[in-house]
Structure formats: C-alpha cells, structure tokens
C-alpha cells in the first residue's frame, strides 16, 4: 500500500467516525475532554520518552535552538496541554443552537440550526501541544479530526495522539474520531489535501511558506491564518498622548505575533508635534525605525524605508513610519500594502472614526485601541482557533462557532407548495 | 494584448471600483437600481436588436429549440428583467448592520459589522436575463461584479450590460463597477478563474459539467449550486394521507428544479399500507417509478431500480422508491446516495422528528413539509442568489446576506494590552 492509499484509508475511517462524533451529547463530549486531559497528565512519562526521541533526532539534524525549544514537552508544557483541554471543556457547546426561527406565510416554520462541519484536517508544524489543542477544539464543536504534525515532532505527536484517542474511546468516542497520520513523508500531507470528498475543511498552522504550500495545493477549502501587516493611523484630531501609548503598545507589547503593528501612519498636520515624542519612546525600547522622507525630515534616528518595507511583517522590534496627507491616503496605503488583518485609527473626531470603520476592509477595524486586542480571548470568543485573514466563512479571530455551519430546518404540518 | 491580459485589465479596473461601490449609500444604490430598471425598458429596441443577432447565430449553429427559447428576449422578458431589478431595490440593504456588540473586561466594545465581500465573479450560461439579475444583486449588497455569460448570448449580454452600466454610472456608480468580459473565447473564463488576488468569490450558474469545470479550475473560492438528489422519508408513524400529498408535491409540482424529490424512502412497517395509494397517485400523473425488490413485491407498475438510480437527479417525472428497515437506514441511504440538499421526514412521532433533524446533514432538513419549500423566497430571504450545496460560508438558499461577510469592529477609549 502506497502513502496515498494508506492516508486515504485512515481518512475514510475518520469520515465514518465524524457522523457519530456529530451526534455525541454535550455531556459525553465534556466527559471525553476531561478524560483526555487527565490521561495526558497520567501518561506524561510515555509522552516525554517519545519526545526525547524527537529532541535527539532534532539535535542530530542540527535544528535551531528556537525550534528545539518549541519541540520540548517538559512537565510544565504537558500540564499546559491538559489545562488547555480543560478550558475547552468549559466552553458552551455551539452545536444544536437554533436561530432565526420564523413562521412563513405558507405556515411552515423556518430556522437555522448550528451543526458541525464534519471532518476537519489540521496540518501543523513543530509544536506538539497543537495535537491536543486541535483535537479538543474539533471534538467540542462536534467534528472528527485528522491531524498531521511536523515530521520533526512525529514521535511526540504520535504519543500524544495515542493517549488522547484512547482516552476518548474509553469515554465513548468512535474509533477514528481523532486520527493522526503516522507517516513522516511529506507525501502524506499532499495526499490529505487531495481528499476533498472526505475532508470538509483544512486548517493549516505554521510559517508563511507552509501556509502558501497548503493553500496552493489543497482542493479542500482552507481556512488560513496569514500574515498580519497591521497599521496604526494617527489622525489629525488624535489625542497625541493616547496615540503614543497605542502605537507603542501595538508594536512593542509582543512584537512576534500577527496582531502587532508594523507600520505607523501619521497625518501631516500633527506629524511635527507627534513624531518627536513617539520616536523617543520607540528609541528607548530599542525599536528600529524606518520612514518616508517627510518623517526623516522631521525627526532623526529613522532610517530610509524602501518600497519593500511597507509590505513587510517584521515580527520584531522594527517599525515603518509614513506621513500621509489625509485619512483617505492612510486608507489607500493600508489597503495597498497591508494584509487586511487589523488596523486602528487614533482620533477624537466622530466623522473620521466612522469613515475609517466603513472604508477599511480588514478583519478587525479599531478606534482608539491597540491592534494587540485582535484576539479571540480579548473578543470573548472563548478558545481561539486562529485569526482568519480570508473573507468567506470566517473572518478575524475564530472561535468554536466558526468550526460549525448552519443548516436550515423546516417544521411543517403537511404543507405542500402551491 | 492576449486574452489573459485583456481580462486581467478589466478585472483590475473592477477591483478598484469595488472599493467605491462598497461605500455607496443605500439611497444611492437604490437610485442606481431604479435607473437600471427604467433604462432596460427604455432601451428595449437596442437590446432586442442585439438579441436578434444571437438568435440568428444560434439557429445557424443548430442550437436546440429549448436553448433558443432561453436565449430569446421578447418584450415580456425585458419587462421581467426590469421588474426583477425593482424587486431587489425594495429589499433591505444588508451592509453596515452591526451585531453582537459587547463591552469586554478590558473596556473595549467589540462587535461585528456586515460588509460587502468585494468583487464578485458571476459566470453563467445562456439566459441573458441573469446579466441584470446578477448585477442588481451584487450592487445592492455593495459588491462590484465581473460578468461573463455564455458565448451564444454574447451580443445580448453586452447590450444589457451596456445599458445597465451606463445607467449605473449616470446615477453615480464608479466606472467598472459592473464589468462584462466581452470576449467570446472560453479562455476568458479560464483567465478569470486565475485572478484570485482580484476576485473575491466566483458564483457559477449552469449545468453540472459547467459547474464541475469551474470548481476544478478556480483558485478563487466558489459558491456552487450543485445537484439536488432530495429525499422524502415516510416514517412508521407517518400520517399516510399527508405522506402521499407531501411525496407527490415534492416530486410532481415542478420536477425540473433542484428541490424536487428524486427518491422516496418508506419504513417497512407502513410500506404495505402506504405504497398502493402512493403508486396509484404517481401513475395517474404519469410518473415513471423504479424501486427495490421489496417495493416491487408489494405493488405493481414499478420497474427495477439499479444502483445508479439511487444517485440520480432525474429532474423529470421519474422517482425511485425504497423500503427501509428503520429511520437510521433511511438516514444511511440518503447520506450515501444523496447530495445533502434537502430531505423531509413525514412522521407524527416527536422522537423520530428530532432524530431525523439531528442526524441528517443536509442544507435543509424538514419535518412534514414538501421539499419544494427549499427556496429563498419561501424561507423569507428576499431575493435568492442560488442554493449552496457546500458547507462553508453559505449553506442552502442564499440571500443578499450571503453576498456579504462580517468584520470585527472595536471601539476603544485608549485601551492598550497589558
């Protein structure tokens, strides 16, 4: 049996299981999740033994210390995985909610019922804690899941998946409801991406090149979590002290994540007053700055921004700064160079805030708040599966609801169409 | 300039226009739609002159009389097109609606705002009335649109598009907001389907082979309106007189459409009592019947159903009939052979209705109602763009809301993340 056939057989079994998972009661799903969490802790030794194999192989292969660190499953991380599953257990079950139920002139009642999507394919790179996280999120929303982690974490992932799928089955989950593809060869990923008659949705997690590969290869709909080239725009009517705080927080509070700001746009009328204190603040925090000619004529310590800079997601302590003629020019800039993730305007002007909210076509549009709030937890969605940068199905931070869809239900009493 | 470059240039202009269309006020959009409707009637002669060219070419090419009939734009059809646009004008504008606005512990207010998707690609086969219909639906929901109709209707489509896009511009719509691709060569369609950085969504309308071509070729998300292999299941606790009416209506009232039933499933406990009157009713209406061995042992006048029959969307006066052992077997049957479009159970049993609603994973699930109700108008969605047979973004009948997406909006007062 080749890699494609082996993958297909596993995915087929998962598809069959998905129908049973969809019908599990909330009580049963919660019991499954708690058992999964408990077993992760109880079987810590087996997981860490498998993890040691990956760590050794990784050291031998010369993986960077950052990658090795992400790979490591110490006691604290295993506790974190178990607690993560317990948190998901506590979230409300999205399945079965009925909304918009209305009686129609024909006499039928029509509403929408929230139901699982079916079979979710989760493809991720190194961190093995994603294995339990993804399985728990899928299960809570009534979906079966096929997991395929990075090959450098294969022993760890298999051990974690073994523990949680056995725990799930012990509590009544169907065999195959949590399936891991145990094939290290990359062809297994390519095989998954072709099974569009079995897998309903693919969620990739990893670096830009990986996401690009998945979206270009997949014939299954992909929900992608792409780059975040986020902007803060300081309007001519901004509270400038607030603007310094918001821009600083957006860039510096956690620069390595997608909702950190990469570019600061400043209205020309306030640039001279605003930029000196802003640049001083950034400089004190060792933020590298590049800017347009206008910016550089007003303040020192700012390098020259290239055209490429405006497109760049630095993910580090570096920011690009541009002075713009108007709010509309700011919107044009972020539309052209941004990734439609999160943009914030700082202004005290009512009309400007309204114009910015309407004109900016990004997944999150903010007024007087740090871009760092663009997050499922901060938005109150409970668990965050990712931040979708696409427009269809899910846009922005995704919670459990976004792992479901809605079907129409019709309750009649014998109506026929005239 | 090749076909790809020519198509790309038109689509690029439409993309630029889409930003302006998204910001048009409801009042302006409605004025545009009314002007479009008026001009369609006022410029009837020019449209009919172009239509005559297509009709002549079609006759010369030996198109069937059914295709020629769909192609014809007589006075009544042009009036119908104008009235269709006027009906869309009267629907509520979905854009700008804010929902789920809540204050979070951090002090920010978070909500979701309904916004246009952006640039919609509409690709359709012969009927030229789709041109005005699609343009009006897209405009009302704040989207720009790129249209590409069938090559056999190219003169008609160009004439209609010319009238409505000039009317739209006269009322303040941006140039290119309604763009038609004037290239008869099929390569123009292939070119459109590659422009995933410009077009946000593709909506195809046409036959099965055409939809298949579009979904397989497109790198842009497609919302497809696929086959409807719909089922009526007569439960052991059904009101049998009601069951006859519902099954008959589901099959016969309009057999050529996707929400007509193709298969009747009957619980074994009631088969003997139910089938004779049902079969008699179908026979009187000249419905051809094929069935399983059990069915054929109970009633006469029913041919033998092949495995292929259970998968078939007849779209004519023909139905397949199967006796099942249980509700679960009925669900298994329709899950395996159906297209997840619309299924109806006839039952007086509370538990059976609940089980069927939960277990059937179709876009519409009904109790005691004809499958023919699966329709945007009957569901109260206003205009119907199509019936989506996919799970993501839109499922089942699609109204104007499904031509939009939701972005998050955040209103702060200087909040930064701690």
With an 8 Å Cβ cutoff, are B409 and A366 in contact?
A: yes
SS3 A90: coil
Does pLDDT of B416 surpass 80?
A: yes
With an 8 Å Cβ cutoff, are A395 and B406 in contact?
A: yes
The confidence score (pLDDT) of residue A293 equals: 98
Q: Does A242 touch chain B (CB under 8 A)?
A: yes
Q: Which of A232-241, B57-66, B210-219 has the lowest mean pLDDT?
A: B210-219
Q: Search chain A and give the residue with CA nearest B20.
A: A359
Domain match, B157 and B182 both: yes
The confidence score (pLDDT) of residue B105 equals: 95
Q: Search chain A and give the residue with CA nearest B372.
A: A417
Residue A174 lies in a domain: yes
Domain match, B122 and B182 both: yes
Q: Does B229 touch chain A (CB under 8 A)?
A: no
With an 8 Å Cβ cutoff, are B366 and A396 in contact?
A: no
With an 8 Å Cβ cutoff, are B392 and A361 in contact?
A: no
Residues in chain B with CB shorter than 8 Å from the CB of A19 are 335, 359, 361
Question: Which pLDDT tens digit goes with each residue over B295-321?
Answer: 999 999 999 999 999 999 999 999 999
Percent pLDDT > 70 in chain A is 100
Q: Does B26 touch chain A (CB under 8 A)?
A: no
Mutate to test the interface with A, among B17, B285, B391 (most CBs of A within 10 A): B391
Mutate to test the interface with B, among A104, A239, A391, A411 (most CBs of B within 10 A): A391
SS3 B1: coil
State chain B's maximal CA–CA distance in angstroms.
Answer: 78
Helix ranges restricted to H, A299-407:
307-311, 327-337, 350-359, 376-379
Q: Does B341 touch chain A (CB under 8 A)?
A: no
How many contacts (CB atoms, under 8 Å) link A and B? Answer: 207
Residue from B387, B352, B380, B384 nearest B368 by CA: B352
Residue A341 lies in a domain: yes
CATH code for the domain of B330: 3.40.309.10
Residues in chain B with CB shorter than 8 Å from the CB of A234 are none
With an 8 Å Cβ cutoff, are A359 and B408 in contact?
A: no
Give me the residue from A372, A379, A411 closest to B110, CB to CB: A379
The confidence score (pLDDT) of residue A169 equals: 96
Per-residue pLDDT band at A259 (split at 50, 70, 90): very high
Chain A, residues 113-132, CB within 8 A of chain B, namely 113, 115, 117-118
Percent pLDDT > 90 in chain B is 84
Separation between Cα atoms, residue A274 and residue A233, nearest integer Å? 12
Q: Does A256 touch chain B (CB under 8 A)?
A: no
Q: Does B388 touch chain A (CB under 8 A)?
A: no
The confidence score (pLDDT) of residue B389 equals: 86
CB A151 within 8 A of CB A71: no
Mean pLDDT of A120-149: 92
Residue B415 lies in a domain: no
The mean pLDDT of chain B is: 94
CA dihedral sign, ordered B220, B225, B228, B234: positive
CB A123 within 8 A of CB A14: no
The confidence score (pLDDT) of residue A57 equals: 95
B313/chain A closest Cα distance in angstroms: 19
The confidence score (pLDDT) of residue A206 equals: 83
CATH code for the domain of A54: 3.40.605.10
The confidence score (pLDDT) of residue B109 equals: 97
Domain match, B13 and B136 both: yes
Residues in chain B with CB shorter than 8 Å from the CB of A202 are none
The confidence score (pLDDT) of residue B209 equals: 87
Burial B39-63 (b: 16+ CB within 10 A, else e): bbeebbeebbebbeebbebbeeeeb
Give bridge partners of residue A161 from the DSSP assignment. Answer: none
Chain A, residues 50-79, CB within 8 A of chain B, namely none
Per-residue pLDDT band at A207 (split at 50, 70, 90): confident
Domain match, B168 and B268 both: no
Mean pLDDT of A233-247: 98
For residue B78, count CB atoms less than 10 angstroms from its CB and return exposed for 0-12, middle for 13-18, buried for 19 or more: buried
Q: How many CA atoms lie within 13 A of A250 on its CB side?
A: 36
Residue B36 lies in a domain: yes
Question: Which pLDDT tens digit goes with each residue over B321-349?
Answer: 999 999 999 999 999 999 999 999 999 99
Q: Which of A22-26, A282-286, A382-386 has the lowest mean pLDDT?
A: A382-386
Give me the residue from B23, B246, B417 closest to A372, CB to CB: B417
Angle between helical axes of A350-359 and A327-337 (0-180°, round to 10)? 20
Q: Does B357 touch chain A (CB under 8 A)?
A: yes
Q: Does A201 touch chain B (CB under 8 A)?
A: yes
Q: Could you tell me the end-to-end alpha-carbon distance of chain B, in angstroms, rounded to an integer?
A: 55
The confidence score (pLDDT) of residue A156 equals: 95
Q: Does B257 touch chain A (CB under 8 A)?
A: no
Q: Does B230 touch chain A (CB under 8 A)?
A: no
Q: Search chain B and give the residue with CA nearest A253.
A: B417
Structure tokens, B316: 């004519």
Mean pLDDT of A88-106: 95
Q: Does B412 touch chain A (CB under 8 A)?
A: yes
Q: Tell me the helices (H) and strands (E) count for chain A, helix number first.
A: 16, 16
Mean pLDDT of B214-224: 86
Domain match, A162 and A264 both: no
Does pLDDT of A126 surpass 80?
A: no
The confidence score (pLDDT) of residue B231 equals: 98
The confidence score (pLDDT) of residue B224 equals: 83
Domain match, B217 and B270 both: no
Q: Alpha carbon of B28 to those of B25, B139, B140: distances in Å?
A: 5, 10, 10
Residue A321 lies in a domain: yes
Question: Which pLDDT tens digit goes with each residue over A267-318?
Answer: 999 999 999 999 999 999 999 999 999 999 999 999 999 999 999 999 999 9
Structure tokens, B139: 């405009």
The confidence score (pLDDT) of residue A325 equals: 98
Residues in chain B with CB shorter than 8 Å from the CB of A246 are 414, 416
Per-residue pLDDT band at A231 (split at 50, 70, 90): very high
Burial B231-254 (b: 16+ CB within 10 A, else e): bbbbbbbbbbebbbbbbbbbbbbe
Separation between Cα atoms, residue B23 and residue B36, nearest integer Å? 19
With an 8 Å Cβ cutoff, are B416 and A370 in contact?
A: yes
Q: Does A357 touch chain B (CB under 8 A)?
A: yes
Domain match, A185 and A259 both: no
The complex scores an ipTM of: 0.91
Per-residue pLDDT band at A354 (split at 50, 70, 90): very high
Domain match, A265 and A316 both: yes
Q: Does B311 touch chain A (CB under 8 A)?
A: no
Q: Search chain A and give the residue with CA nearest B370.
A: A416
Residues in chain A with CB shorter than 8 Å from the CB of B372 are 416-417
Q: How many CB atoms lie within 10 A of CB B280?
A: 12
DSSP summary character for residue B92: P
CB B36 within 8 A of CB B223: no
Mean pLDDT of B153-167: 95
Domain match, B333 and B277 both: yes
The confidence score (pLDDT) of residue B282 equals: 98
Does pLDDT of A89 surpass 80?
A: yes
Separation between Cα atoms, residue A49 and residue A184, nearest integer Å? 18
B54/chain A closest Cα distance in angstroms: 36
With an 8 Å Cβ cutoff, are B417 and A373 in contact?
A: yes
Q: Which of A236-250, B2-16, B209-223, B293-307 has the lowest mean pLDDT?
A: B209-223
Last residue of a domain, one of B201, B225, B249: B225
CB A292 within 8 A of CB A277: no
Q: Does A202 touch chain B (CB under 8 A)?
A: no
The confidence score (pLDDT) of residue A8 equals: 97
Q: Does A96 touch chain B (CB under 8 A)?
A: yes
Range of the domain at B332: 230-377
A311/chain B closest Cα distance in angstroms: 15
Residues in chain A with CB shorter than 8 Å from the CB of B376 are none
Residue B274 lies in a domain: yes
Residues in chain A with CB shorter than 8 Å from the CB of B364 are 407-410
Separation between Cα atoms, residue B306 and residue B299, nearest integer Å? 18
CB A287 within 8 A of CB A252: yes
Residue B406 lies in a domain: no
Question: Which pLDDT tens digit goes with each residue over B258-287?
Answer: 999 999 999 999 999 999 999 999 999 999
Angle between helical axes of B268-284 and B240-252 (0-180°, round to 10)? 50
Residue from B175, B129, B166, B119 nearest B150 by CA: B129
Mutate to test the interface with A, among B202, B261, B392 (most CBs of A within 10 A): B392
Residue from B171, B88, B77 nearest B135 by CA: B88
Last residue of a domain, one of B225, B246, B281: B225
Per-residue pLDDT band at A384 (split at 50, 70, 90): confident
Residue A255 lies in a domain: yes
Q: Does A388 touch chain B (CB under 8 A)?
A: no
Domain match, B221 and B234 both: no
The confidence score (pLDDT) of residue B219 equals: 83
Domain match, A221 and A235 both: no
With an 8 Å Cβ cutoff, are A409 and B365 in contact?
A: yes
B362/chain A closest Cα distance in angstroms: 7
The model's pTM is 0.91
Structure tokens, B186: 């099929």
The confidence score (pLDDT) of residue B385 equals: 81
B10 vs A67, higher pLDDT: B10
The confidence score (pLDDT) of residue A77 equals: 94
Mean pLDDT of B184-189: 91
The confidence score (pLDDT) of residue A357 equals: 96
Residues in chain A with CB shorter than 8 Å from the CB of B392 are 117, 200-201, 221, 392-393, 405
Phi and psi, residue A126, nearest 5°: -55, -45
The confidence score (pLDDT) of residue B27 equals: 97
CB A392 within 8 A of CB B405: yes
The confidence score (pLDDT) of residue B207 equals: 81
Mean pLDDT of A83-110: 95
Structure tokens, B221: 């998300």
**H or E stretch at B166:** helix B154-170
Does pLDDT of B161 surpass 90?
A: yes
Separation between Cα atoms, residue B396 and residue B360, nearest integer Å? 14
Number of domains within chain B: 2
Domain match, B248 and B212 both: no
For residue A23, count CB atoms less than 10 angstroms from its CB and return exposed for 0-12, middle for 13-18, buried for 19 or more: middle
Mean pLDDT of B148-170: 94
Does pLDDT of A129 surpass 90?
A: no
The mean pLDDT of chain A is: 94
Residues 6+ apart with CB under 8 A from A398: A223, A376, A381, A384, A385, A386, A387, A388
Separation between Cα atoms, residue B382 and residue B87, nearest integer Å? 9
With an 8 Å Cβ cutoff, are B410 and A369 in contact?
A: yes
Last residue of a domain, one of B225, B247, B262: B225
Helix ranges restricted to H, A203-256:
208-217, 240-252
Mean pLDDT of A213-235: 89
């Amino acid at each position: 049996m080749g890699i494609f056939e082996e993958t297909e057989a596993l995915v087929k079994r998962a598809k069959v299981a998905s129908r049973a998972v969809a019908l599990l009661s909330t009580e049963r799903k919660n019991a499954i999740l708690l058992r999964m969490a408990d077993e992760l802790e109880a079987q810590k030794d087996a997981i860490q033994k498998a993890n040691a194999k990956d760590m050794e192989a990784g050291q031998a292969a010369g993986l960077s210390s950052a990658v090795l660190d992400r790979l490591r499953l110490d006691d604290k991380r295993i506790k974190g995985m178990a607690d993560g599953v317990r948190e998901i257990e506590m979230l409300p079950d999205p399945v079965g909610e009925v909304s918009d139920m209305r009686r129609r002139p024909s006499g039928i009642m029509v509403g929408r019922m929230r139901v699982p999507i079916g079979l979710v394919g989760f493809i991720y790179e190194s961190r093995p804690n994603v294995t339990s996280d993804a399985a728990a999120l899928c299960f809570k929303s009534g979906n079966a899941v096929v997991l395929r982690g990075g090959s450098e974490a294969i022993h760890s992932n298999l051990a974690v998946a073994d523990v949680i799928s056995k725990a799930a089955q012990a509590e009544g989950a169907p065999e195959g409801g949590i399936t891991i593809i145990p094939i290290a060869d990359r062809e297994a990923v390519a095989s998954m991406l072709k099974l569009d008659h079995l897998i309903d949705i693919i969620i990739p997690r990893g670096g830009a090149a990986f996401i690009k590969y998945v979206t270009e290869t997949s014939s299954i709909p992909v929900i992608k979590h792409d780059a975040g080239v986020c902007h803060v725009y300081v309007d001519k009517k901004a509270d400038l002290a607030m603007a310094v705080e918001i821009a600083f927080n957006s860039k510096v509070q956690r620069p390595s994540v997608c909702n950190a700001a990469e570019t600061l746009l400043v209205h020309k009328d306030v640039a001279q007053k605003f930029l000196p204190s802003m640049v001083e603040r950034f400089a004190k925090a060792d933020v590298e700055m590049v800017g347009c000619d206008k910016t550089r004529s007003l303040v020192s310590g700012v390098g020259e921004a290239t055209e490429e800079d405006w497109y760049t997601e630095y993910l580090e302590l570096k920011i690009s700064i541009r002075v713009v003629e108007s709010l509309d020019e700011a919107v044009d800039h972020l539309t052209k160079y941004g990734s439609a993730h999160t943009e914030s305007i700082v202004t005290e002007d009512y009309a400007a805030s309204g114009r910015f909210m309407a004109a900016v076509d990004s997944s999150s549009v903010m007024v007087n708040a740090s871009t760092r709030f663009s997050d499922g937890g901060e938005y109150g969605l409970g668990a965050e599966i990712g931040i979708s940068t696409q427009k269809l199905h899910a846009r922005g931070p995704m919670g459990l609801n976004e792992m479901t869809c809605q079907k129409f239900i019709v309750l009649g009493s014998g109506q026929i169409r005239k």
